[in-house]
Amino acid sequence: MYNKMMFTSTLAIGTLIAVSSYSWMGMWMGLEINLLSLIPLMSETKNKMASEAALKYFITQALASTLLLFSFIMLSLSLPLHYDMSPYFLLILNTSLLTKMGAAPFHFWFPEVIEGLSWINVAIMLTWQKIAPMVLIMFFNISDLYLVLAISASMIISGCMGLNQVSLRKILAYSSINHIGWMLGAMWFSETVWTYYFIVYVFITLNILLIFKMLNIFYLKQLAISMNYDMVIKFFILVNFLSLGGLPPFLGFLPKWITIQSLIAHGFFSVATLMIMATLMTLYFYIRVTFSTILLSTEEMPHFLHSQINSFPVLAMSFLSLSGLTLSTAIFNYL
């Protein structure tokens, strides 16, 4: 218990050091503290999948940290070259940060690591671990072309790869890659838009993960069995998945709306169109998950108690997800 508290606090401290540092070495040190705090949390459950996930995560993050440190060192040296090499080193730096957060096309490790974790660690990976790399990308001058390539790859790859998944953890991992693309688009012109998007994404994701943890389910078949038992939780699963997809009546549409408005205001019509079209693939597998859950009926008994589900946090968060867009629009109109 005390070990978990200590590593959780150093995990948070590492991220805060990275985002508030004035020097490159401080940023790198914060990321390393964050990494070395998460490894014991990931491998705490005595199972081979968790240990394998921790090892994969460590190797990938160590590689990204090496690239990051190399680019920092080369940018700080004034080498007597015939032409300026700093754009290339900035490219390496941004590549290492995109690898750390799991953005496509550097996403190869992300779904595999997520698949071996408990729901608590999945929540950390999908939410808190995105903060430091994204804030550092905001600090550095990433080229427009490279950013468009990263956004396009994240959108298209996550949409295609998520279609044939039966594991809820992998579905959420590819969903997260899609939202990374949206967040990169949101941070392009405004840090405030990124903040709105990240807060709403964290809220909806934690709500879904809380329900899955309470039901203790990891696969689509288990979801169908569980939902057969409780109509209220079935409705709220539907609401949260559609909200995560960004359908208009729900809270998840609000940050996408603001992001699209920001891109169009700066003349990036083609990027906004690509993002909307590619997100339809992600929305398709969200709808497939929810509709199969609603329409399928099974005689198998679920492995949980009825009293575990109807908890106040789940119902309150789901209600906010359902009514959040209406409330936010009303508040903005009166500001």
Out of 231-240, 305-314, 325-334, least confident range: 305-314
Domain span at residue 302? 2-334
- How much is the pLDDT for 303? 53
φ and ψ at residue 310, rounded to 5 degrees: -75, 60
- How much is the pLDDT for 307? 43
Count up the domains in the chain and report the number: 1
pLDDT at 142 over 60: yes
pLDDT at 220 over 90: no
Q: To 10 degrees, what angle do helices 253-265 and 269-295 make?
A: 170
Give yes or no for a contact between 44 and 104, defined as CB atoms under 8 angstroms apart: no
pLDDT at 16 over 80: yes
Give yes or no for a contact between 11 and 37, defined as CB atoms under 8 angstroms apart: yes
Q: Which two tokens stand for residue 286?
A: 């969200």
pLDDT at 33 over 60: yes
pLDDT at 306 over 60: no
Give yes or no for a contact between 163 and 115, defined as CB atoms under 8 angstroms apart: no
- How much is the pLDDT for 305? 46
Give yes or no for a contact between 247 and 316, defined as CB atoms under 8 angstroms apart: no
- CA proximity to 178, closest of 76, 252, 74, 96: 252
Amino acid at 169: R
> Is omega for the bond preceding 111 within 30 degrees of 0, making it cis?
no
Average pLDDT over residues 64-72: 93
Q: Please state the three-class secondary structure of 195-251 as a single string.
A: HHHHHHHHHHHHHHHHHHHHHCCCEHHHHHHHHCCCHHHHHHHHHHHHHHHCCCCCC
3-state SS of the chain: helix, strand, coil percent to 5? 80, 0, 20
Out of 54-63, 82-91, 102-111, 249-258, least confident range: 82-91
pTM given for the model: 0.90
- On the 0-12 / 13-18 / 19+ scale of CB atoms within 10 A, 329 is exposed
CA distances from 78 to 81, 87, 88 (A): 9, 14, 14
**pLDDT tens sequence across 42-53:** 887 777 788 899
Average pLDDT over residues 186-195: 91
